[in-house]
Amino acid sequence: MDIRKTIGDNIRAYRKEIGWSQEKLGVRAKLHSHYISRLELGQENVQIATLEKIAKTLKIDIHLLFVRRA
């Protein structure tokens, strides 16, 4: 299991559930949309502080980003 891929897949899934684009998530989390894209593709080593920002913006508990969804 690649944790970066799991995190990226989860960010994408939660973002899409609320109907946001990568750009909208980026603006709300104060991150560049290209960075969001690279995270979702599992191409970035992300800091915990950044994951906290994303989780807070998506209004989810951070641990949900680490759990593979069914």
- CATH number of the domain enclosing 54: 1.10.260.40
Residue 70 lies in a domain: no
pLDDT on residue 1 = 67
pLDDT band of residue 69 (cuts 50, 70, 90) is: confident
Give the pLDDT score at 70. Answer: 72
The pLDDT value recorded for residue 29 is: 98
In tens, the pLDDT along 2-55 reads: 999 999 999 999 999 999 999 999 999 999 999 999 999 999 999 999 999 999
Cβ neighbors of 35 (< 8 A, separation 6 or more) are 26, 44
Residue 43 lies in a domain: yes
Residue 10 domain-assigned (yes or no): yes
Residues spanned by the domain of 14: 3-65
Residue 28 lies in a domain: yes
